[in-house]
C-alpha cells in the first residue's frame, strides 16, 4: 500500500521513519493475524461442526503434518508457543470432537495424531482452501514471489521479536 504523504503517521510509537515503517508493519500483522484466524475458523466450520479458534485449527493441521504423531513439545515448538495449558485445552477440544487421538503414557511418551475423521476434515479443509484461498492468490500476478519474500521477512522478524522479548524479560524492572 502506498503511503499518503499528506497524512501524519507519527505518534508515540512512531516518531522516526523507521518507527513509522515498523509500526505500520505491526498493525498490518495484527490485522492479518485476526483475518487469518477468522478465515481458519470459517473454513473449518464449512467442513465440520466444530467451533474452533484459528490456533486450534492450526494445531489440527500441524498434528497431521508429515503424517506422524506430535508431542506437546513438538506442537509448542512448531507454533512458537509457550502456553502449554492452552495447547492442552485445545487438544482436549480436538479429541472431544473426534478429530485427534492421544496415544502413549507418561510425560515423554504422549503423542497426538489425527483420527480418520480428522483426516477427512483436514482433507476437506485443504480442498476448500485450494478452491477459495489459493484460487484468489493465483489470480494476482506476481503474488507467489511476493509471498516467498514476505515469508523470509516474517521468519527473520520472528527471530528478532524472540530475541528482544528475551532481552526485555531479562532486564525488566521490578
pLDDT tens digits, one per residue of 118-138: 999 999 999 999 999 999 999
pLDDT of residue 149: 94
pLDDT of residue 134: 94
Report yes or no: 58 and 40 within 8 Å, Cβ to Cβ. yes
Residue 6 banded pLDDT, cuts 50, 70, 90: confident
pTM metric for this prediction: 0.84
Q: Cell 482452501 maps to which residue? A: 129
pLDDT in tens, 65-101: 999 999 999 999 999 999 999 999 999 999 999 999 9
pLDDT of residue 1: 56
pLDDT in tens, 147-169: 999 999 999 999 999 999 999 99
Amino acid at each position: 500500500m502506498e503511503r499518503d504523504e499528506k497524512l501524519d503517521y507519527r505518534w508515540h510509537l512512531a516518531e522516526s521513519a523507521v518507527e513509522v515503517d515498523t509500526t505500520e508493519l505491526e498493525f498490518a500483522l495484527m490485522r492479518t493475524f485476526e483475518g487469518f484466524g477468522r478465515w481458519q475458523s470459517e473454513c473449518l466450520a464449512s467442513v465440520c461442526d466444530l467451533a474452533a479458534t484459528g490456533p486450534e485449527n492450526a494445531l489440527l493441521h500441524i498434528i497431521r503434518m508429515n503424517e506422524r504423531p506430535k508431542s506437546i513439545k513438538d506442537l509448542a515448538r512448531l507454533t512458537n508457543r509457550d502456553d502449554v495449558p492452552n495447547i492442552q485445552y485445545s487438544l482436549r477440544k480436538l479429541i472431544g470432537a473426534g478429530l485427534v487421538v492421544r496415544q502413549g503414557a507418561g510425560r515423554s511418551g504422549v503423542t497426538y495424531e489425527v483420527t480418520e475423521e480428522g483426516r477427512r476434515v483436514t482433507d476437506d479443509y485443504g480442498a476448500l482452501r485450494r478452491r477459495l484461498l489459493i484460487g484468489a492468490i493465483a489470480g494476482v500476478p506476481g503474488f507467489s514471489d511476493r509471498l516467498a519474500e514476505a515469508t523470509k521477512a516474517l521468519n527473520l522478524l520472528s527471530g528478532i521479536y524472540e530475541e528482544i522479548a528475551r532481552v526485555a524479560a531479562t532486564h525488566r524492572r521490578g
